[in-house]
Structure 1
Amino acid sequence: MEKYKIKLNERIYEVEVEEVLDENEECSTTSDFEEEKVSSSKVKNNVEKKPKDKIENEETISAPMPGDIVDVKVREGEKIKKGEVLMILEAMKMENEIVSPTDGNVSRINVNKGDSVNLGDRLVLIQ
């Protein structure tokens, strides 16, 4: 069994890989692999927690797909609630709501109406 570190979307995962020689042969060892649990809101909104050297409760909302920003529903400094629509992202002729995963204040908006974004582009910072 070999251990590897994999970097995916700026997060590092440690995995164990076991070589299997034959499909019909049973493995004699078991893996101690622990799966990292990610909440559905983090997956849905592509939320990224900031490192410890930043303000502790900051969250960056990143673009879950490439597209165009057709509307920005919030302003910097505005108080928001969990589930509130922050902006509308149009991708493949469908409008997608980007919602807040938490209560907080909008501390920074990195895009404007009409901007094109790529997967992972940082859209909004919430404190």
Structure 2
Amino acid sequence: MKRKIRVQIGSSDIDLELVSRDENTYLVEDDRLGTLRVKILSVEGDKVELAINDRKYTVLLDRSSRITYVNGIPIKLLITKPHEHLTVKKSVSATKEFSSKVKVISAPLSGRIVSIKVRENDHIRKGDVILVIESMKMLNEIRSPHSGIVLKINVSEGDIVKKGQELLIIG
């Protein structure tokens, strides 16, 4: 089942060879990296948790900017020869473990984003002001309910948001 995959990370191309697949585990070979055992632990929308040679990675895919976040670090990742889609059999325990590491902060009320106080990759603490929403002519400071690193900001200043809409992701 050998299949070639070209992965572009930043300005570097890596030619991988998919050697075998068993359930959610793939064996991939590279001349420089050797043989890698890649296990898909969970997939939830654009969030993927995987283990490469038993080391865990959390990957967030931002399809609009083609930036991929690996453990909170942004990298440009482009698969230029996808010969096979990776399918995953969902595991309830892996999904629960994954979702406990990455937190989604949603809008507590509807309104307009007046200002965003954080940037991607900022370290924030529980209680820090992350953005300001204007609702019914009042300015409301939205504070982070969790500590972590800002992985992705899903809104811009001036955006109209609804209650419950995803604002940002921290990990």
Greater strand content: 2
TM-score by length of 1: 0.57
> Which of 99, 105, 118 matches 2:162?
118
CA distance in 2 between counterparts of 1:103 and 1:118 reads 24
Alignment-derived partner of residue 152 in structure 2: 108
2:129 pairs with 1:70 = no
Paired residues in the alignment total 77
Alignment-derived partner of residue 56 in structure 1: 100
Per the TM alignment, residue 58 of structure 1 is displaced from its structure 2 partner at its CA by 1.3
Q: Percent identity?
A: 47
Amino acid at match of 1:108: K
Higher relative CO (Cα under 8 Å, sequence separation at least 6) belongs to 1
TM-score by length of 2: 0.43
- In structure 1, stretches of 5+ residues that fail to align are 1-50
> Which of 131, 139, 142 matches 1:95?
139
CA distance in 2 between counterparts of 1:119 and 1:103 reads 22
Amino acid at match of 1:64: P
CA distance in 2 between counterparts of 1:97 and 1:57 reads 25
Per the TM alignment, residue 53 of structure 1 is displaced from its structure 2 partner at its CA by 6.4
List 4+ stretches of structure 1 deviating above 4 A: none
Amino acid at match of 2:157: K
CA offsets, 1:75-109, max 9 Å, x none?
Answer: 00110111100000110001111111121100010
- In structure 2, stretches of 5+ residues that fail to align are 1-94
Amino acid at match of 1:62: S
RMSD, aligned CA: 1.4
Alignment-derived partner of residue 72 in structure 2: none
Could you say what secondary structure the match of 1:56 adopts? helix
Per the TM alignment, residue 56 of structure 1 is displaced from its structure 2 partner at its CA by 3.1
